[in-house]
Chains A and B, each alone.
Chain A
Amino acid sequence: MEILDNQFTQEPGNNTGLHVTRAMRYNWRSTAKWALFLAIVGLVIAGLSLLSLGTMIPMMTNMMEMAGNEAAAEMFRTAGAYISILAGMATIATIVVNYFHLRFANDMQRALQFNDQDKFESSWRHMRYYFRILGILTISYIVIYVIVLIVMAVFMAGK
């Protein structure tokens, strides 16, 4: 009982000067709705690109073979695996990003509906993961883009 009393009266780190207002709740509700929509669209697009991943390369190889372009077909056969792996990794990253977005939206909606503090904290944690992974992915894409540009410039200069 003494422990409970101490927790009730002291609780130093659990409460801050900021508090939840009606306006915040209204804005979060709207944000969560749009976030849910965007997450679902993102997951559907990721699913479609995952489906097309398995069929695109063999289809291109067959088309080149039928057209009698053996060199191009061979190129698709060898490079296709690498392209598929890279595209697969990008798709999986997209799925992970959208999963965290979905969790943010679902947890926020539930938190607002039932005044659930656990879900409220969980929603912001997932939003943080979403931003972090999206940021790291963006930095990775920029670095890859710059590397490809440098390689192409070196290749062109060599020719």
Chain B
Amino acid sequence: MEDQNQPLDAGMASGASDQGLVITEAVRNDLTEIAKWAMFFAVLLFIILGLVAFAALAIAVAGGIGGIVAAIFVAGIYGVLLFFPAWYYYKFATLTRQAVSLDDNTMLDEGFLYLKRFYRFVGILVVVILSLYALFLLIGISMMGSRMGSF
């Protein structure tokens, strides 16, 4: 159950923004924990990126010219897909933690900018993946339809 009993002057304390919302101690605590988890995910993504780079190197060494092409392909695609979310999470986590500990509003502004960039990147990625699924589904259905028609 959420606490419905708010003081009459909620949001009127000195330093409250002109737009009504206040970054309270509770929000600061939430942001600190969110930043810690974001740092965990950023480190995890960087580790996976390192493993992918290592695998690409192994493919390049083992596969000759074809291997090098495959390695560039793998490292290129996975590198872009993994690096940007990891970087955005890392920046969000470091900036937000510093902002909360130093009471620096500029850093907090920048931290949320990186959170937005992370969400935008992942969102667009999901839209692309869903579109590809839909496209393959349509191609599959049309191929099945043409086969059924030939019987």
- Chain A interface (Cβ < 8 Å from any Cβ of B): 4, 7-8, 11, 13-25, 27-28, 30-31, 34-35, 37-38, 41, 111-112, 115, 117-118, 120-122, 124-125, 127-128, 131-132, 134-135, 138
- The yes or no answer to B64 lying at the interface (CB within 8 A) is no
Residue ID in chain A nearest B100 by CB atoms:
A18
Contact call B13/A14, Cβ cutoff below 8 A: yes
In the bound complex, residues from chain B placing their C-beta under 8 Å from that of A134 are: 37, 41
Check A30 against B116 for contact (C-beta < 8 Å).
yes
CB of B99 within 8 Å of the partner chain? yes
Select A135's contact among B12, B23, B28, B40, beta carbons within 8 Å. Answer: B40
Which residue of A4, A20, A41, A118 is within 8 Å of B23 (Cβ)?
A: A20
Q: Which residues of A contact B28 (CB under 8 A)?
A: 16, 18
A16 to B16, CA, bound (A): 9
In the complex, are the beta carbons of A131 and B122 less than 8 A apart?
A: no
15 A-B Cβ contacts within 8 A?
A: A4-B9, A16-B24, A24-B108, A24-B112, A27-B113, A27-B116, A30-B119, A34-B122, A35-B119, A38-B123, A117-B10, A117-B11, A117-B21, A121-B26, A124-B34
Contact A19 B16 (CB under 8 A): yes
Q: Known contacts A127-B30, A128-B33, A128-B34; is A23 also within 8 Å of B109 by CB?
A: yes
Interface size class of B (residues with CB under 8 A): 35 or more
B17 CB within 8 Å of chain A: yes
B106 to chain A, nearest CB (A): 9
Q: A8-B12, A124-B31, A131-B38 are in contact. Are A16 and B116 (CB under 8 A)?
A: no
For B112, the chain A residues whose CB sits under 8 A away are: 23-24, 27-28, 31
Contacts of B22 in A (CB 8 A): 14-15, 19-20, 117, 120
Q: Beyond the given A13-B24, A23-B109, A34-B116, please list 14 additional residue pairs across the A-B interface where CB-CB is below 8 A.
A: A15-B22, A15-B24, A16-B28, A17-B15, A27-B115, A30-B116, A34-B120, A41-B126, A115-B20, A117-B21, A117-B22, A118-B6, A121-B24, A131-B38
Is B27 interfacial (CB 8 A cutoff)? yes
With A15-B22, A111-B21, A132-B33 in contact, do A21 and B109 touch (Cβ < 8 Å)? yes
Bound CA span A135–B38, Å: 9
| Given known A-B contacts A16-B103, A31-B115, A127 and B34 have beta carbons under 8 A apart | yes
Residues of chain B within 8 A of A21, CB atoms compared: 17, 105, 109
Which residues of chain B are near A34, meaning CB under 8 Å? 116, 119-120, 122-123
Known: A24-B109, A38-B122. A17 touches B26 (CB 8 A): no
